[in-house]
Amino acid sequence: MAAPLTGPLRNLLLASQLGLSVHHPLAGWFVLTILYHDARSSSEPITLSYLARTYNNEYLDAATDEDPIADDVLKKVLDVLVAQAGLVEVNPRKVRARMRSGQYHITSSGSEYLKMMQKVIDAESTISANTNRIQEYVALVEKLSVPVRSGADTQLYNDFKNMLDAYDDVMKGIHKLEDDLDELANDIAFNHGSQEAGHLQKMLRDKAIPAYQLMLQQAARIQGLANDPTFPDQIAHSQQGSDDLDAAHAVGQQDVLVVRLQRTKKWAAAQLTRLALSMSPTSSAIDSSLDSIYLVFNTLLGIVHLLSQELEHAKRQVIDIKALSRQLDTLLSHYQQLEIPARVPRHLPVDREVEDASDLLDASTMGPVRYLANAAVKKPASEADNPTVTDDAPSEQAQLAGLREFRQQLMIDDNHGRVDHDLTLKTVSARDEIVKLFAATYHDDLTGFAPFGRDAQTVQSITNIPPLQLQVAGEDYAVMLPCGFSFSFA
């Protein structure tokens, strides 16, 4: 019996056209389905003739009145699945024994493709943002970051795989949350929903932002795992641990195990690089990362600010939009009885003299307006007309003023300082040096971090302090720091 194919999945498969067959656009998908389903239940080897017979008997698309597929066309589809997509493998024929799965069998990539396409269709129902998933991710990162890890069984590999899945779920959930909140903010603004805006803002401040601050605090651990050259090798060995059910492991096929080990090691290293890139605060990493944690955090803060604006707007609003809508509906119900004043407001040009300015019938008989054109002389621009180019480098006086303010606002004593509250500064140079010094919390090597020429010895983040705001007096914008920090000089 043919496996069922839902409408949304069918449309997605037609768009992707696996197998590149013009007259049989679903052939690639149905071949994978036959290989996945019949390999375990059929007593007949799955050869080209078996695939063609099963396809024509059970899988022809009735919606398009699909014609039976020929062997040569099916062979081309299989060539695409084998050589280009890597979803199917070909086993050579054996003289003394035939494999139960026959000539063709589906690969692990093919099985994953079948499951993945269904997940794409169900994404609107399955993708969600919740703090429990974030807690699971944080717990797994902490578990993987212990100094001593065992690769005797598959537990280490499973924890690493679960950590990657949890991270991907969290990222997909926050993107969906961003879209949903954007629509809700518009609805709240139109429906005068100050109470709803308050509830959403409280949810973000009390649950979402603290949870993502926990994720932000895992940046050092992720960077440490990515910089550990032995960790990918431990993951690869753990995959082949004592409880591994791989057939090559059971029969001791060392060549297959070595290839699998190297492939898993390369995969683990690539995943660690991806996670480390998403946790890096540099501008190049943020631009090149698909899911930068800093963009996610800025998105949450932006949504909180947007809801705050909607809340304040709703409080200041003196017109009840719902009441106004009801008045308009009442007005439109008897618009035929409305009376419009007979006098038309004067709107004709004041430079034409008419007897009755309200009589629009005279407009067609009035002559044109005559204006006197003044000759304009263009003066060519020269080098002397160029504006004066200013030197935007801070002057010595500005640097001294910034140093003085830095010491007054931040320094506890001659060698130690702390930033633990919002600051309103008078100098731009002090603000810039504070921002540069905060970036040192993500680096082990503090070479190059020298505010006003003084080398930093230690810089540590204070994670229990909420986001801080640095603003220069007279400027409309401010710099946001995720948390506070302390520092000391040599």
Residue pLDDT, tens place only, 365-396: 666 666 666 777 888 888 888 888 766 666 77
Decide which of 193 and 415 is more confident: 415
Helix 27-38 to helix 108-121 angle (10° resolution) is: 120
**Band of residue 123 on the pLDDT scale cut at 50, 70, 90:** low
**What is the CATH number assigned to the segment(s) 7-123?**
1.10.10.10
Tokens of 61: 């698309």
Q: How far is 240 from 252, CA to CA, in rounded Å? A: 11
Q: How far is 193 from 189, CA to CA, in rounded Å? A: 7
Evaluate whether 481 touches 438 at the Cβ level (below 8 Å): yes
Please check the confidence at residue 247 and state whether its pLDDT lies above 80.
Answer: no
Q: In the predicted model, what is the mean pLDDT of residues 268-296?
A: 83
Q: Can you give the pLDDT at residue 92?
A: 62
* Maximum distance among all Cα pairs of the chain, rounded to whole angstroms: 115
Q: How far is 260 from 237, CA to CA, in rounded Å? A: 10
Tokens 């004592």 — which residue? 242
Evaluate whether 79 touches 50 at the Cβ level (below 8 Å): no
Q: How far is 408 from 172, CA to CA, in rounded Å? A: 44
Q: Can you give the pLDDT at residue 483?
A: 93
Helix and strand totals (H; E) in the chain: 19, 8
Decide which of 151 and 313 is more confident: 151
Please check the confidence at residue 262 and state whether its pLDDT lies above 90.
Answer: yes
Of 396, 425, 420, nearest to 481 by C-alpha is 420
Q: Can you give the pLDDT at residue 100?
A: 45
Read off the amino acid at residue 374: N
Tokens of 243: 């409880």
Q: Can you give the pLDDT at residue 371?
A: 61
Q: Can you give the pLDDT at residue 284?
A: 82
Sequence spans of domains, the chain: 7-123, 127-310, 396-489
Q: Dump pLDDT digits (tens) for 99-113.
A: 444 578 888 888 888
Q: Can you give the pLDDT at residue 298?
A: 74
Say how many C-beta atoms besides its own lie within 10 A of residue 388's C-beta.
Answer: 4
Q: Dump pLDDT digits (tens) for 59-98.
A: 888 888 889 999 898 888 888 888 888 888 887 655 444 4
**Band of residue 193 on the pLDDT scale cut at 50, 70, 90:** low
Tokens of 331: 């007005």
Per-chain mean pLDDT for the chain: 79
Q: Can you give the pLDDT at residue 310?
A: 67
Q: What percent of the chain has pLDDT over 90?
A: 13
Q: Choose the most confident range, by mean pLDDT, from 39-48, 363-372, 462-471.
A: 462-471
Please check the confidence at residue 423 and state whether its pLDDT lies above 70.
Answer: yes
Q: How far is 51 from 211, CA to CA, in rounded Å? A: 51
The contacts of residue 215 (CB under 8 Å, 6+ apart) are 134, 137, 138, 170, 293
β-strand partners of 105: 89
Tokens of 395: 């002057």
Q: Tell me the DSSP string of 145-176.
A: TSS----SSTHHHHHHHHHHHHHHHHHHHHHH
pTM (predicted TM-score): 0.54
Poorest-pLDDT segment among 34-38, 298-302, 435-439 = 298-302
Q: What percent of the chain has pLDDT over 70?
A: 79
Helix intervals (H) in 80-154: 108-121, 123-126, 131-144
Please check the confidence at residue 345 and state whether its pLDDT lies above 50.
Answer: no
